[in-house]
Amino acid sequence: MNKPVWFCQEFGTDGMVVINAEVDLGPGAGVVGYSRYLHPFELDNAVDPQGMFGLIISDMSAVMGRLTAPTQPESRACAFGQHDEAASA
């Protein structure tokens, strides 16, 4: 699994701020994204706008950190547990 890719952009005519994080889970697993939208009034009315922005990013980081790529077994036999040579003989 790769590290999340972060980007931020202004959206629309009223200045909405969009914070996006995407993570590539690997071949065949796809890409997962998480977006948060902030209206400028939310930042204007916040006591600590930078702290609020940091809190949102840390919350998003925690969510993205919980994502894991599914592990792929080396062979189909390993997918069902340890293969014991002695037991099959």
Res 76: pLDDT: 57
Gap between the Cα atoms of 23 and 1, Å rounded: 8
User: Which stretches of the chain drop beneath a pLDDT of 50?
Assistant: 69
- Tell me the pTM: 0.60
Positions of E strands within 2-78:
5-11, 16-24, 31-38
Gap between the Cα atoms of 86 and 30, Å rounded: 39
51 SS3 class: helix
38 SS3 class: strand
Please list, in sequence order, all residues whose beta carbon lies within 8 angstroms of the beta carbon of residue 46, skipping any fewer than 6 positions away.
52
Res 81: pLDDT: 60
Res 85: pLDDT: 54
Res 87: pLDDT: 53
